[in-house]
Chain A
Amino acid sequence: MKIVIINYGAGNIQSIKFAIQRLGYDAILSNDPKEIESADKVIFPGVGEASSAMKKLKDSGLDALVPKLKQPVLGICLGMQLMCNHTEEGDTTGLGIFDVDVLRFDTTVKVPQIGWNQITSLTSPLFKGINEKEYIYLVHSYYAPLTKDTVAKTDYGIAYSTAFHKDNFYGTQFHPEKSSVVGEKILKNFLEL
C-alpha cells in the first residue's frame, strides 16, 4: 500500500510518519502531485497558523489538487480545518470540501484547548472498534461547528465537530498520531479502509 503524507511545510509530519511505522506500514512525504495522485491513502497534515499554511499550500500548487483526489484522504488538525469552507483564523478561505465555517472558541473556555477530551456520536468506519467517550488528544483554538458531515463530536463549552466524513474525505480535529492506542486504532482504520 502506498501512503503519502502531503509535505507542504506546515505540519508535524515526522510524528505521523512514525505512528504509521508503528502500525507496520511505511509512508512517503511528498509535495509531488504525481506521487500524491498515485497513492492509495493520502494524509493532509497541518500545524500552525491557518492563513500561512494555506499560503504554503497554494505556493506548492496543491490547493487545486487536494479537493479532486479520489482515494481516501485524511486531514488532521489544521489540515481538517483547511478542508472546510473558511476559517476565522487569518480570515482564510479553505478548500470547501466540508461545508462549514471554522470559528474561534469564545472566552468562556481557556484557549487553546490543550489536552485529552472525549469523542461521542461516532458514525464512520474511521471509528470501527472505538467506544463512545474514548479520549483523544486535542490542541486548538478554532473549532468546526456540527454539520451533516460530522462523524464525531466533542464538548468544550459547546458541542463541536472532532471528525468529518464526506465521500472519500475524512478529517479529524484531534491528533490520532498522539492519541495513544485509541489514536493508533483510528489511524489503522483509515489505512485499512
Chain B
Amino acid sequence: MLTKRIIPCLDIKNGRTVKGVNFVDLRDAGDPVELADIYSKAGADELVFLDISATEERRKTLANLVLRVAEKVNIPFTVGGGISSVEDVDILLQNGADKVSVNSSAVKNPQLINDLAAKFGSQCITVAIDAKQIEGEWIVHLVGGKVPTQLNLFDWAKEVEQRGAGEILFTSMDNDGTKDGFANRALARLSSELNIPIIASGGAGNSKHFVDTFVQGKADAALAASVFHFKEIEIQDLKKELQDKNIPVRL
C-alpha cells in the first residue's frame, strides 16, 4: 500500500539551514547535509530543501549543495526557491535532485510548468502554492507570503495540474508558524478536486496534527520544519502513532 509521507523541510540560506516563524525571525538549525543524513536515518520519507538566499552566487551554491546531499543521502529530495527556468532545473536534476519545486516563477510565467513537464516529466515537477484567506477566499500569495495575487487557490491549483505539475505543495500562510494544525478543509478540497498528490504544509505543532491532516485533510504527505529541527517531534514516534491510527506509513 502506498504510504503517507513525512517530509522535513530545510530552509536554506547561503548554504545553511534556517527556519522562519511566519517566514520572519530566522533561526540557525545546522548544516543541511548533516541534517539530511540524520533525517534519512530517522525515517523521513523525503526531504525538501527550500533556498531563500538572495545573493548573486545563489544558483552555484545551491547546485553545489544538491550534489553534496545526493552523495550522502539515500532517500528522495526536492529542491525549491528561486527556480525560474528550464536551465535552473536541468542543473539541479543533473546534480542529483529528484524533484524541483517552483512557486512565484510559475505564477509569473505559467507556461514554465508546461515547459518543465515536457522536458523533464511531470513526476519531478512540484508546484508550491502559498495562500491565505482574505475575506473568506483563499488567495495565492508570492514572495514568501508577502504579496497577494489575483489568483484563487483552487483555480490556480487546477490550472497547475492541467499544465503538467506532478504534485502540489500547499502552504497555508494562515497556519504557518502557528503550531495549531494544518489547513485541513482547504487541503481536503484540493485533494478531492485534483488527481495529483497534495503535500500539506504550515501549522504542524504536534503528532495529532499529522493524523488530522491525513484523515480530515486527505493529504498524501505532510511537511514540517521546526517541530523536527528542534526535536519537538521524533519521526519514528510520529510514524508509530500514525500506524496506531491505521494510517499507512513506512516503518
Contacts and interface: CB of A to CB of B under 8 A. Distances in A.
B178 interface: no
B220 interface: yes
A15 B96 contact: yes
B67 interface: yes
B95 A14 contact: yes
Interface in A113-161: 113-118, 135, 137, 139-141, 155-156
A12 B96 contact: yes
Contact of A183 (B74, B122, B196): B74
| Top 4 A-B residue pairs of the complex, sorted by shortest distance between their CB atoms | A14-B96, A48-B121, A135-B250, A116-B250
B130 interface: no
A117 B98 contact: no
A8 to B, nearest CB: 14
Interface residues of A, number: 35
Contact of A116 (B45, B74, B95, B123): B45
Nearest to A46: B121
B74 A112 contact: no
Interface stretch (B1-9, B143-151, B223-231): B1-9
B136 to A, nearest CB: 28
Nearest to A53: B121
Contacts, number: 95
A184 B72 CA distance: 13
A49 B122 CA distance: 8
Contact of B1 (A14, A112, A155): A155
Tell me whether chain A's interface is mostly helix, strand or loop, or mixed: mixed
Interface in B126-154: none
Tell me whether chain B's interface is mostly helix, strand or loop, or mixed: loop
Given A14-B70, A18-B70, A114 B40 contact: no
A87 B23 CA distance: 44
B45 A141 contact: no
Given A12-B93, A112-B122, A118 B74 contact: no
B63 to A, nearest CB: 11
Nearest to B191: A110
Contacts of A19: 74
B210 to A, nearest CB: 15
Interface stretch (A36-44, A58-66, A68-76, A174-182): A174-182
A18 B195 contact: no
Contacts of A12: 93, 96, 98
Nearest to B44: A180
Nearest to A187: B74
Contacts of A14: 67, 70, 94-96
A141 B123 CA distance: 8
B167 interface: yes
A139 B100 CA distance: 14
B71 interface: yes
A181 B2 contact: no
B123 A114 contact: yes
A115 B45 contact: yes
B15 interface: no
A180 B40 contact: yes
